[in-house]
Every structure is written in C-alpha cells, then in structure tokens.
Amino acid sequence: MTGNAERLAPFGRRRLVRASLAGAVAVTAGLVSDSPSTATRAEKTARPGTPETALRELVAGNARWRTYHERHPDQTRAVRQTLVSGQHPFATVLGCVDSRVPPELVFDQGLGDLLTVRSAGPVLDEAVLASITYGVLELGIPLVVVLGHQSCGAVTAAVQAARTGERLPGHMQYLADQIRPVIDPGVQGAARVDEAITANVRLVRSRLVAEPSIAAKVASGELAVVGARYELTSQRVHQTR
C-alpha cells in the first residue's frame, strides 16, 4: 500500500457522510498532532457516545501509545467495581490475533472501554460477525474499527499459498480461502502482501456495512465503520483508503 506512513485522519473532527447503502464514513481533517491528549478519563463528563467522539478518543489514545505517554486508563478499583454491574464500551475493534497488536494497548484504553474481537487476518466469519453485531445492537456501540496491521502472518501465508498452489494445514486453509480474493497477482514481492493486508481490511469493512442491521445504523448516523492499519515500525494507526 502506498502512503503507509500517512497520518490517520483525526476521527473526532470529521463529519459523517452517507456515500452508499453501506453508509461509508469519512472524516475530514488530518490526524491530531503527535502530542498526546491532555484530557483524562476522570475529566470527562461521559464516555464517548457518538462516532465522532469515539474516533477522537481512539486517535488520542494511539498518540499516547506511540509517544510513550500511556495512561492505562480505567483500571482502578472503583472502575472494576462499577463494571461488575454492566459494560458500556464505546468502540468495537476487530483486530488480528497477532500478539504484537493488542487493541487496548495500541489505543491506550482500559477495562470496559473496548469490545475487542480478534481473528487471524482479521477474517470475518459468522462468529465474528455475530460478536460485532451484538456490540452494535445490544450495547449501542457507535464505532467499529477493522484493524489490519503491517507484516500480518495470516495474510502472508495466504499470499504464499496462492502463489505455490499448496494448501495450508488444518483449519488454516479457511483463512487462506477468505483472504485469497483480495490478493493481486499483478503486484510482486513483499508489496503483494502489503497490498493484500490493506485490501483485506477494505473487504471486511465492506462486508460489515452491507449487513442490513449495521447499514441501518450507519445510515442514521448512529454508527461509523472504519478501516485502519497499525504499522509495527511506527506504532501509528492510520485509516485505509
């Protein structure tokens, strides 16, 4: 993918626009500066309740993470006791199982902040889709982020299998079959894997927003579904295009 070092546009200052039945969401300005946000969870009057405020919170958290100013919020005794009676996460992150990309760390969030769904790739199957839908419909989460990442092993394996024609062992072939449609045979070398990582994020996002229940929420402005990538080299999250 070209422009991997580009900044993720600041979610919080962008306006939602309806671009199709899928309700594609765009955010209008560039990523907030590298300086971490000065607002703490204790200073907030309420958890993020709109797509824009949820996006802004994730951007600020990633800025703290990549500049080594993590706050590790929402881990106190009081928060843990509050969460016994219920949860109100403000964002769902569909990420890869890769141990280097834990969403709560990448976005510097704490207990009860994120509904995290992880699958290799990340690949969307019925269980993953049901989990995301649960967050949207039952918990009223206003933001879903599909988060791919640099040097994804699942995508790399799928690209290699497509090139050699060999089947992956066991259930891993299912991952390769799901990723195969986004592999561009016209791209050579390491770039083929990198392009497939971004293309897979776009595919998963498009499938999510095509779901009637999710599409309705997007069309009403209650929900944003955003594709993004995490770069291991810079620790930066940026929006896919």
The whole model's pTM is what? Answer: 0.81
Which of 62, 37, 18, 84 has the alpha carbon at shortest distance from 229?
Answer: 62
Q: What is the dihedral of CA 196, 208, 118, 55, to 10 degrees?
A: 100
> Looking at residues 13-38, what average pLDDT do you find?
36
Q: Does residue 112 contact residue 79 with C-beta atoms inside 8 Å? A: yes
Give 194-204 pLDDT, tens digit per residue: 999 999 999 99
**Does the pLDDT at position 37 exceed 90?**
no
pLDDT score for 47: 85
pLDDT score for 170: 92
> Looking at residues 89-114, what average pLDDT do you find?
97
Distance from chain centroid for Cα 128: 13
**Does the pLDDT at position 78 exceed 50?**
yes
Residue 93 burial (CB count, 10 A): 28
Q: Is the dihedral of CA 115, 121, 124, 127 positive or negative?
A: negative
Choose the weakest-confidence range: 43-47, 98-102, 161-165, 236-240. 43-47
Give 124-146 pLDDT, tens digit per residue: 999 999 999 999 999 999 999 99
pLDDT score for 39: 41
**Does the pLDDT at position 14 exceed 50?**
no
pLDDT band at 45 (very low <50, low <70, confident <90, very high): very low
- Percent of the chain exceeding pLDDT 70 equals 81
The string of DSSP codes covering the chain is -TTTTSPPP-GGGPPP---STT------SPPPPSSPP---GGG-SS---SHHHHHHHHHHHHHHHHTT-----S-SHHHHHHHTT----SEEEEE---TT--HHHHTT--TTTEEEEE-STT---HHHHHHHHHHHHTS---EEEEEEETT-HHHHHHHHHHHH-PPPSTTHHHHHHHHGGG--TTS-THHHHHHHHHHHHHHHHHHHHTSHHHHHHHHTTS-EEEEEEE-TTT--EEE--
> Looking at residues 15-31, what average pLDDT do you find?
34
**What distance separates the 2 farthest-apart alpha carbons in the chain?**
56
> Looking at residues 49-68, what average pLDDT do you find?
97
pLDDT band at 241 (very low <50, low <70, confident <90, very high): confident
Question: Which residue has tokens 């703290």?
Answer: 64
pLDDT score for 38: 39
> Looking at residues 218-222, what average pLDDT do you find?
97
Which of 158, 176, 156, 145 has the alpha carbon at shortest distance from 240?
Answer: 145
Q: Is the dihedral of CA 179, 105, 230, 206 positive or negative?
A: positive
Per-residue tokens: 194: 């990198």
